[in-house]
Amino acid sequence: MPDTLLISAVQRRTTNASSRVSAVVGGSELWFESDDVALRPSIEAFVSAFLIPSAAGRVRLEATDAVDAAFAASLPKVLDIVRRWWGYDVVLPHLETVAADAKPHPQAAGRTALCFGGGVDSFYTLLASGRRIDDLVFVHGFDMPLTDLARATAVEENLREIAGVLGARPIVMRTNLRAHTPFRAASWDRTHGGALAAVGHLLADESATMLVSASFYHGGWHPWGSAWQLDPLWSGKGLTIEHIGAELSRADKLRVLRDEPLVRRYLRVCWANRPDLLNCSRCEKCIRNQVILAGLGVLEHFRTFESPDTLAARIADVPRIRDPLVFDRYEFALRLGLPSDQAAAVRALLARSRRAHWRDRAVHAREYAAAVARRILRGGRLESPPAD
């Protein structure tokens, strides 16, 4: 019998200042709170967040509260997908179910929310997808830690300004999910889709539809926690989750958005999480977006990045591009046409990154061959080579 990860009964506490929903998961409290709206005490939210981590940890997910039967019926499909993608054992959760009213909450009917981080993908959904957005949602504790108050305050101010321009309602939520030990059994790039679904369920009395912006276009897709195959499966109990924007690459989205004033003023893409800056302008993710904007001839208009005058030097300071799946974004910028110093810096970065990538693959192959030899000597075998 596998070990068990138990989700206790979900509690809601509402004061004049905030709404908090919490449960004890694996022996410690997990909570979500907002000062903007009343959160739904949704067991589906907690199951969404912990299904993939429980599979990664080879434990059986159980819940004290009964879940929506239609929602529960999709969970084996989620587990089958993550088994094929990442090799997780399928351990079906032990959940009591109830036939819930599939109609959206009257207050939520017809309303659509967007998980909005201020990046290229969420701006594309907001401004170019053709969908009406009623609620813009930012979650403090997802892509920046709860202790990062300075950046969170700046992002919240930007969110409220953008929402004000567009006539949408800003919603800020806080959570300790990413710091919660059982949730960390799998990496964020595999679990964030379930976390976004949790936010949708918590807001389902406010918005009947939650839009999740695609990180990859169909032609360049690879297994990822938020994907067109997975996101809709988290729907249920009056909530519909949609995956939006996979028809374009991120570079093409920037081409569409390049003249949008709100994007020029508020675009946030950074991984560095420096408390004094929305974008550090120097990490590899900042660099890849800047070179595309430079190729489009508009980088100087984007106030959240440093001056294009020193971009070539910043490119030269990047040791390597670690993800070969983003090599094509730099090649896209080269095809657009960059100033000669920036183009030379990009070509040099691509060259050293490819060398490092092939060196890593060679080391990986040698390590696998050695592991095979050790297993053969012990009379065993490896089932399959580890993923690149």
**What is the tens place of the pLDDT at every residue in 249-283?**
999 999 999 999 999 999 999 977 676 678 999 99
Token pair 């309602």: residue: 169
Task: Give the phi and the psi of residue 133 in degrees, each rounded to 5.
Answer: -115, 125
**What is the tens place of the pLDDT at every residue in 315-366?**
999 999 999 989 999 999 999 999 999 999 999 999 999 999 999 888 878 8
d(CA 62, CA 69): 15
Same-domain check for residues 122 and 204 = yes
- Please check whether residue 251 lies inside any domain of the structure: no
The set of residues, in sequence order, having a beta carbon less than 8 Å from that of 284 and lying 6+ positions away, is 271, 318, 321, 322
Same-domain check for residues 142 and 232 = yes
Same-domain check for residues 239 and 284 = no
Q: Which amino acid is at 173?
A: M
Q: Is the pLDDT of residue 384 over 60?
A: no
Band (388; pLDDT cuts 50, 70, 90): very low
- To the nearest whole number, what is the mean pLDDT of the chain? 93
Same-domain check for residues 68 and 195 = yes
The set of residues, in sequence order, having a beta carbon less than 8 Å from that of 30 and lying 6+ positions away, is 22, 23, 24, 46, 49, 175, 176, 177, 180, 183
Contact 43, 67 (CB under 8 A): yes
- Please check whether residue 181 lies inside any domain of the structure: yes
Same-domain check for residues 234 and 173 = yes
Length of the chain: 388
Same-domain check for residues 228 and 297 = no
Same-domain check for residues 332 and 231 = no
Domain boundary residue, one of 244, 259, 281? 244
- Please check whether residue 370 lies inside any domain of the structure: no
- Please check whether residue 313 lies inside any domain of the structure: yes
- Higher-confidence position of 204 and 387: 204
Count of the separate structural domains present in the chain: 2
Same-domain check for residues 196 and 240 = yes
Same-domain check for residues 219 and 299 = no
What radius of gyration, in Å, describes the C-alpha atoms of the chain? 22
Per-residue pLDDT, 98: 94
Assigned token pair, 325:
């799946």
Task: Give the phi and the psi of residue 260 in degrees, each rounded to 5.
Answer: -75, 120
- Please check whether residue 274 lies inside any domain of the structure: yes
Cα-Cα-Cα-Cα torsion 295, 316, 326, 261, nearest 10 degrees, comes to -40
SS3 301: helix
User: pTM (2 decimals)?
Assistant: 0.90
- Please check whether residue 384 lies inside any domain of the structure: no
Q: Which helix (H) or strand (E) holds 240?
A: strand 240-244
Same-domain check for residues 302 and 240 = no
What residues make up the domain containing 229?
Answer: 3-244
Same-domain check for residues 172 and 74 = yes
SS3 247: coil
d(CA 315, CA 311): 6
**What is the tens place of the pLDDT at every residue in 109-167?**
999 999 999 999 999 999 999 999 999 999 999 998 999 898 899 999 999 999 999 99
- Please check whether residue 381 lies inside any domain of the structure: no
Contact 244, 127 (CB under 8 A): no
- Please check whether residue 235 lies inside any domain of the structure: yes
**What is the tens place of the pLDDT at every residue in 54-64?**
999 999 999 99
Same-domain check for residues 225 and 277 = no
